[in-house]
Every structure is written in structure tokens, then in C-alpha cells.
Structure 1
Amino acid sequence: MEFNDYQKLANRTLYGNEQVLTNCALGLASESGEVIDLIKKYTFHGADLDPDELTKKMGDVLWYLSQIAEWADIPFDEVAAQNIKKLEDRYPDAHENKQ
């Protein structure tokens, strides 16, 4: 799926009023915190890292990011492309497929 396609499909579920940007920013912070909490529990408390739960929470983060971009009239593909360009500039010698 292309980022712009995701952004438009995700926008179908956006609800709210003139404070939609604030709602999206707060939701992004909240959902990011849930991703962090899963990783913290895995790293420091010996909990299993549930890939399904992590995927759901990361999807929630993606939704909020896409809707902030939608609100600002920024194509989500552009967000991704600019980030890759920044990373290429910052790490010109990075190896492909490095994990």
C-alpha cells in the first residue's frame, strides 16, 4: 500500500471538530507511549513482545501521523520520501538491508 493511499483511507475514520489537530497530536503521544510501554516491559520486565499487539499499536501511531499530515495538506508519501532523503544525507555510507 502506498502512503498516500493509506492517508486517504485512514481519513475516512477521522472525526472531530475544529480541534482535530490537537486531538491527533494528543493521540499520537498516547499511542507512541503505548508502543514504548510494550518495549519497556519486554526489555526490563521480561515480558514477551507480542508482535500482533506491537503491530496494532504501531498502526495507531501511523494513523495519527497520517491525519496530522492530512490536516496540514502534506501528502504522506512526501513525509516518507523526505525522511529517507534526510537519512541518506545523514548516513551516506550506511549499508542496505542492515539490521
Structure 2
Amino acid sequence: MTEEEYKDFDYTKFVDCLRATTPDTLSGESLSGGILHSAVGMSSETGEILGHIKKVIWQGHCINCNYIIKELGDILYYFTSMCNLIGTNIDEVRKQNIEKLTKRYPEGVFDKERSINRNE
């Protein structure tokens, strides 16, 4: 993809690309099956990042940011897939997350006691 094509590649086009690259075997999945596929996918990709960090911390490897970025892209793929399945999008997820954090930390900063003693 060229730089110009990337500039025009908004969230809607990303979702269209995601749908086009979803395996046909998932098209007939139940909602719970699709959600499970997305959850396992996010977990697997997160595990790949953890494996890389393990090598950095305990085996002397250097952090490879490009590798991490590629895995984050895979996580975004599965995240977006799950959003589509449950009828939401990244903007709504961010909004609800900010609301949750604002309720938990009304001063707008992390507080150890509020973290430990959550009312949720």
C-alpha cells in the first residue's frame, strides 16, 4: 500500500478489508463461535508479544518494535472482528472505557486505593 493509499484508508475501509480477509469457514459461525474465534485470536497474538518480551528479559534479545507493531496489528484485526460481531466499533469501546476510568479515578489520575477497592 502506498503512502497516499494509506492516508485514505480510514476505519470503514479497514473494516471492509477485515471482512474480505475473514476465512469463509467463519462465515457460518454462530455469534458465540465468532466471538470465541476473536478472543482466542487476541489471546494468541498477545502471547506472541509476551514470548518476545520473555526473550528480551531473560534471554538477552533486543526489543523488536516492528515485530510488536505487526502483532498489535493482528490484535487490532481480532479486536475489530469482535466489535463487528457484537455491533459496536472502536469509538464506542473507547468511550465506555473512558467512562469506566473516570468513574474509578474521578481525579483523573491513578490511585492505588481506588484500584484495590473497586466498586464494579
Q: Deviation above 6 Å: which 4+ runs of structure 1?
A: none
Aligned-residue sequence identity (percent) comes to 28
Conserved? CA contact 1:28–1:65, under 8 Å: yes
CA distance in 2, matches of 1:65, 1:89: 24
Aligned-residue offset at 1:75 = 1.9
Q: 1:4 to 1:84 in 2, by over 3 A?
A: farther
Aligned pair count?
95
Q: Which residue does the alignment assign to 2:47?
A: 33
1:48 aligns with 2:68: no
Cross-structure match for 2:21: 13
Gaps of 5+ in 2: 1-8, 111-120
Aligned alpha-carbon RMSD (Å) = 2.4
CA shift for structure 1 position 4:
5.7
Listed as ranges, the gaps of 5+ residues in structure 1 are none
TM-score by length of 2: 0.64
Check the 8 A contact 1:70/1:76 in 2, yes or no.
Answer: no
TM-score of the aligned structures, taking structure 1 as reference length: 0.75
Which is higher, the Rg of structure 1 or of structure 2? Answer: 2
